[in-house]
Amino acid sequence: MKTTSSIISLKNLWKEYVLGDETVFTALRDINLDIHEGEFSAIIGPSGSGKSTLMHMIGLLDKPTRGEIIVNGNDVAKLDDNQTSTLRNSYVGFVFQQFNLLNKLTIKENILLPATYSRRKLDFDPDERAEMLMEKFGILSKKDSFPNKISGGQQQRVAVARALIMKPQLVLADEPTGNLDRKTGTEIINLFEDLNKSEGITVVMVTHEMEIAERTGRQIKILDGQVVSDKK
């Protein structure tokens, strides 16, 4: 898909872990990266390469030691925790390898969680949007079920619906097929591909599987905390 404007920019970004006056570990080194509207990208690299730390930065879950994270003209490093939380809630939807669903809540209640905790006035009806997403992903009949009563593939579809409930600019998926069998994993990648192509949703996926990464339009490889290649 043709890219347009940048929805997030990382500029000269470092993430260091310091003990006293000593830097004991550098997770990210001078990262310069732009994610553009409408992209379907993969962040790839071996375990310990820094891809999870990079995901946390893109998802506004952590702040850099040095450098800037620019979202909608805002330098996130200069925002307080409440401002960052509000921006993150409206800007990014997360899909995790472990699904991170709450078994005490129904499928529909899980999907509605981000809207329930939102601090901003919503311009849509969360209940109607949840129903629409469940129907789109083929899980509407499970709306009153609980996560531990449905399959892994259905749980991941619930997680994707939850990620989309707030109409985010970006969906960030961390190893979304890691706990799924090959067939179900392919179905989930097909779902992301469809969301990107048919609805123009920007997706960044963290994966160590090249076969999956090659389904995306851009592969960003990270090694020892640095971007070593960026292929489109």
194 has pLDDT over 70: yes
Host domain of residue 176: 38-63+80-231
Find all residues with CB under 8 Å of 106, minimum gap 6, and list them: 143, 144, 145, 146
Do the domain assignments include residue 4?
no
Find all residues with CB under 8 Å of 80, minimum gap 6, and list them: none
Which residue from 223, 93, 229 is spatially nearest to 158, judged by alpha carbons?
93
Model pLDDT for residues 18-58, shown as the tens digit of each residue: 888 888 999 999 999 999 999 999 999 988 899 989 999 99
Query: What's residue 3's pLDDT?
Result: 41
**C-beta separation of 93 from 165 below 8 A:** yes
33 beta partners: 10
Do the domain assignments include residue 10?
no
Residue 11 zone, left/alpha/beta (φ > 0; ψ -120 to 50; rest): beta
The distance in angstroms from the start CA to the end CA of the chain is 10
The pLDDT mean for the chain works out to 91
| Residue 116 binned pLDDT confidence (cut-offs 50, 70, 90) | confident
**C-beta separation of 155 from 100 below 8 A:** no
Do the domain assignments include residue 152?
yes
Mean pLDDT of 80-107: 90
Do the domain assignments include residue 131?
yes
Query: What's residue 99's pLDDT?
Result: 86
Mean pLDDT of 6-23: 92
Rounded to whole angstroms, what are the CA distances from 221 to 32, 35, 75? 13, 14, 25
| Residue 180 binned pLDDT confidence (cut-offs 50, 70, 90) | confident
171 has pLDDT over 70: yes
Do the domain assignments include residue 48?
yes
**C-beta separation of 11 from 207 below 8 A:** no
Tally the residues of the chain.
Answer: 232
Query: What's residue 4's pLDDT?
Result: 64
Which residue from 169, 43, 35, 152 is spatially nearest to 99, judged by alpha carbons?
152
Q: Which is it for strands 6-19 and 202-207: parallel, antiparallel or unpaired? A: unpaired
| Residue 218 binned pLDDT confidence (cut-offs 50, 70, 90) | very high
Do the domain assignments include residue 176?
yes
120 has pLDDT over 80: no
Task: Give how many domains the chain has, as a whole number.
Answer: 1
What percent of the chain shows pLDDT beyond 90?
Answer: 66
Sign of dihedral through CA atoms 191, 197, 199, 205?
positive
Q: Residue 116 carries which side chain, given as an amino acid letter?
A: T
The reply to whether the predicted model has a pTM over 0.85 is yes
φ, ψ for residue 66, nearest 5 deg? -140, 160
Helix, strand or coil for residue 231?
strand
Query: What's residue 1's pLDDT?
Result: 42
101 has pLDDT over 70: yes
2 has pLDDT over 60: no
Tell me how far apart the alpha carbons of residues 130 and 125 are, in angstroms, rounded to a whole number. 9
CATH number at residue 211: 3.40.50.300
